[in-house]
Chains A and B, each alone.
Chain A
Amino acid sequence: LEHFRTAHAEAGGVVSFIGQVRGETEPDPVEALYLEAHPTLTESGIEAAITKTRGRFNILGLDVAHRTGLIPVGETIVYIATAARHRRDAFLAADFMMDYLKTEAIFWKREHRASGTHWIEPRAKDYKDAERWQNLA
């Protein structure tokens, strides 16, 4: 983040977001999250979303890193940083990019709990969050 920040000295604001594996405890503790990506389409999809985000918001920079494989509770899944001349653009672009990653980015998630493993897919709330942007064109 420090490197990203100093690389955008002309920015008035830098926003960063880290998504991590939530440590739900009772009654069936989450131990880790397994994330699988598609060998070609995950990356090209994220690159297209970065282009879309840059086109939609007045930002100077956008960094995205997303992990795959087995990620233990408390560890980082995703990191986003945006830089803009004015803070609002940086906040909005980060939020928009996260909504893409939650509902459209090509990943499959499997939760490892004490009782076994379960696939998890976006919740209705995630799709609703992503839909907001259609009304804010």
Chain B
Amino acid sequence: VGTITVTFWGRISDQFGKKQQIDLKELGSISDLRKTLGGDLLKPAFRAIVNGEFIANDAPITDGDEVEFMSPVGGG
């Protein structure tokens, strides 16, 4: 149905790699994508970004979206 690109930042890149192109049978929401990928992405601390904007879990995914998942952040 659609293809999205997913980038993984920080610790979760050890589980999923840095970037994946994923073909989805059903587009669904960010929450559905979290369930499909599993692992740490089931935890809300790993925030989602779609096309450069922080986004809620019930936001729909559309074909061609650039999704990013972030591990907990912190600098200094």
Interface residues of A, Cβ cutoff 8 Å to B: 19, 35-36, 38, 40-41, 66, 77-78, 98, 101-109, 119, 121-122, 126
Contacts and interface: CB of A to CB of B under 8 A. Distances in A.
Contacts of A36: 9-10
A40 B10 contact: no
B75 interface: yes
B13 to A, nearest CB: 9
Interface of B: 9-11, 14, 49, 52, 70-76
Contacts of A107: 73-75
B74 A41 contact: no
Chain A interface helix/strand/loop/mixed: mixed
Query: Which of A41, A103, A108, A122 has the most B CB atoms < 10 Å from its CB?
Result: A108
Contact of A105 (B9, B14, B49, B74): B74
Contacts of B10: 36, 108, 119, 121
Nearest to A130: B74
Contacts of A19: 76
A57 to B, nearest CB: 19
Given A41-B49, A119-B14, A109 B9 contact: no
Given A41-B49, A106-B70, A121-B71, A101 B76 contact: yes
B49 A102 contact: no
Given A40-B52, A41-B49, A119 B73 contact: no
Nearest to A102: B76
A77 B74 CA distance: 12
Give 3 closest A-B pairs by Cβ, nearest first.
Answer: A108-B10, A107-B75, A122-B74
Given A40-B52, A41-B49, A108-B9, A121 B70 contact: no
B64 to A, nearest CB: 18
Nearest to A104: B73
